[in-house]
Amino acid sequence: MQTNLRGRDIISDLDLSKEEVETVLDLAFELKRKRALGEPHPYLRDKVLAMLFFFSSTRTRSSFEAGMAQLGGHAAFIDSRTTQISHGDTAKEIGEILGRYYDGIAIRQVDWGIGNKYINDVAEYSRVPVLSMQCDLFHPFQILADLMTIIEKKGRDLRRKKMVVSWAYASSYLKPISVPQSLILQMPRFGLDITLAHPPEFKLRGDIMEEARAQARKFGVGFEVVDDMKEAFEGADIVYAKSWGPLVTTADPDEGKKIQDRYKDWITDERKMALAKPDAIYMHPLPADRNIEVTDGIIDGPHSVVYDEAENRLHVQKAAMALTMW
C-alpha cells in the first residue's frame, strides 16, 4: 500500500509506479464494495473538481461527475467553448486560476499534437492535482478500469495470459491512438503477454513502442507485433479490439479516411473470436461502431465484458480522486 499520492498528477500511465497502481486498484475494489452495500464514503466532502472538456464524452463525464458526488464533493462541468480559452486564456492561466478555485482539475483534450502538452502545461502551473481524462497520447483511467476488469475476470495472477490489442475498422471518424498506447504501456507491468495487431499504416508512436518493449523486458513478458488480425486472435485470453486513426502515418483526415477504408475486413466477428480461447473475454472502451468494428453477436454475447469495463471507470476514478485530492 502506497501512501504518497496526495497532490499527484495522473497524466501518463507511467506517472504511477506499479505499486501505486495496485494501491489505486485496492481502493477501487473497496469503493465498489461500499457502493454495492450502500455504505457512504464521503472522503472528499466539500471538495470540488473542475472538468474541462475540449471533446465530448458519455462515460468520462458521467463517471467523474457521479464519482465526485458519491465521494461527497462536486464536479463542475466546463465546456472549453464556453470559456475564454479561444480568446486568450493560456494553459498557464487555466492552471493558475482553476488551481485556486478548485481542489482538482480534470481535462480531456485529444487534439493530435496538442492534448498531452496542454494538460502538462496546465499541471505545471496548478497548485492542485491535474488528472487526464484522455489526451492524444494516453488514456490512463480507461486503462485502470480495463485492468480492474481483467483482474475480476481472470484473477490477480495474469502471467502467461495473452492479451491482444488489435486495430479494428470504424466508419465514424479517425479515433485517437491513446487507448492502444496506454494499454501496451500498462499491461506488461501486470504480467500479460501482449500481441499488438494493426495494418502497417496504423502503427503507434515509436517512443511509446520502445517504452512498451522496455516494460515487457523489465517484467519478463512477451511483446510482439503482427499485421494479421486472425493470427493475433489465436489462443488469446483477452481480446481488446478497437479503431484508431493512422495519425503517425498522416494527420490529414481525408487521406486517413482513404487508408482506413482499405481495411474493412478488420472486424471482430464470431469467426475471429472463435480463434481465441473458449473463455476469452472481449473488451472495448465504447462507443463501438456496431457491425462495422464489432458484430452485435460479440459485443452483446457471452465473451463481452464491456459494461463491467464501463462501470469500473467509476470505481478507479473515485479511488484516484480520493487518493490525490483529500
Confidence band, pLDDT 50/70/90 cuts, at residue 235: very high
Q: Where are the domains of the chain?
A: 13-139+313-325, 142-309
**Closest C-alpha to 285, from 324, 311, 261:** 311
In 3-state terms the chain splits into helix, strand, coil percentages (rounded to 5) of 45, 15, 35
Give CA–CA dist 256/180, Å, rounded. Answer: 18
C-alpha cell at 314: 467509476
**Largest Cα–Cα separation, the chain:** 55
**Closest C-alpha to 317, from 46, 52, 75:** 75
Domain 13-139+313-325 and domain 142-309 have a common topology: yes
Find the mean pLDDT for residues 12-40: 98
Phi/psi of residue 250, nearest 5 degrees = -155, 140
pLDDT for 56: 87
| C-beta separation of 129 from 120 below 8 A | no
Residue pLDDT, tens place only, 155-208: 999 999 999 999 999 998 899 999 999 999 999 999 999 999 999 999 999 999
Give CA–CA dist 42/61, Å, rounded. Answer: 20
The model's pTM is: 0.97
Residue pLDDT, tens place only, 283-311: 999 999 999 999 999 999 999 999 999 99
Residue pLDDT, tens place only, 4-22: 999 999 999 999 999 999 9
Three-state SS annotation for 265-315: CCCECHHHHCCCCCCCEEECCCCCCECCCECHHHHCCCCECHHHHHHHHHH
pLDDT for 197: 98
- Residue 86: pLDDT above 90? no
Find the mean pLDDT for residues 36-65: 97
Mean pLDDT of the residues in the chain: 97
What's domain 142-309's superfamily in CATH?
Aspartate/ornithine carbamoyltransferase (3.40.50.1370)
Architecture of domain 13-139+313-325: 3-Layer(aba) Sandwich (3.40)
pLDDT for 299: 98
